[in-house]
Chain A
């Protein structure tokens, strides 16, 4: 079945460490790509999105993601994480059929 895969269920980092969260999808054709973040007790909110153009996308709070079409990937990165980045991160894809599909999520814990 077509899907969105997030490779890590739980990532634990110390402050100032670099972060990369993997996201792969299995849909062909044109896709729109998103990363959402859910801070404890808060709404799901958009970190960044890719529709077309420069495959390196910059989002809020110092996050960026790179779309690699040949690898069907849209990995999320941050060079130096902070304790306040502790949250759950969801990759989402809208393929041609217009339904947004989510990965299972990655829980990030940043130790102060």
Chain B
């Protein structure tokens, strides 16, 4: 069953703690993306990676970090430096530059 999985679906953390969100794809896509979705603001790009061992900052990378050690995996760490981490996080992947992106189910992070 091909697709993108994100885990967990809901995540709660205390303020000041780092937390890592998982994203795995078995679509054999080169490119992977992390977005943050807030009500009334659409999706904003945090980080993206077009190839293993390489990634680029998006518009709102501050307070986040990523790694791309394997083609299938693109975990996102929300660090304690992120001022407003409570949000819905979406991972996506795609085959080519400027092409369609396929989205995972998302992780809703709540920082208490």
Q: Which residue of B lies closest to A96 (CB)?
A: B98
Q: Contact check, B42 vs A49: say whether CB atoms are below 8 A apart.
A: no
Q: Contact check, A43 vs B42: say whether CB atoms are below 8 A apart.
A: no
Given A43-B104, A100-B45, residue A32 in contact with residue B99 (CB < 8 A):
yes
Q: Which residue of B lies closest to A44 (CB)?
A: B103
Give complex CA distance A30, B70 in Å.
32
Q: Contact check, B97 vs A98: say whether CB atoms are below 8 A apart.
A: yes
Given A104-B41, A104-B42, residue A98 in contact with residue B98 (CB < 8 A):
yes
Chain A interface bracket (under 10, 10 to 19, 20 to 34, 35 or more): 20 to 34
Q: Which residue of A lies closest to B6 (CB)?
A: A43
A-B contact pairs, 11 of them (CB 8 A): A36-B103, A43-B103, A44-B90, A46-B102, A51-B98, A90-B42, A98-B98, A100-B45, A101-B45, A102-B43, A104-B41
* 12 additional contacts (CB under 8 A) given A44-B92, A98-B97: A4-B42, A32-B99, A34-B100, A43-B105, A45-B103, A90-B42, A98-B98, A99-B45, A99-B48, A100-B101, A102-B35, A102-B43
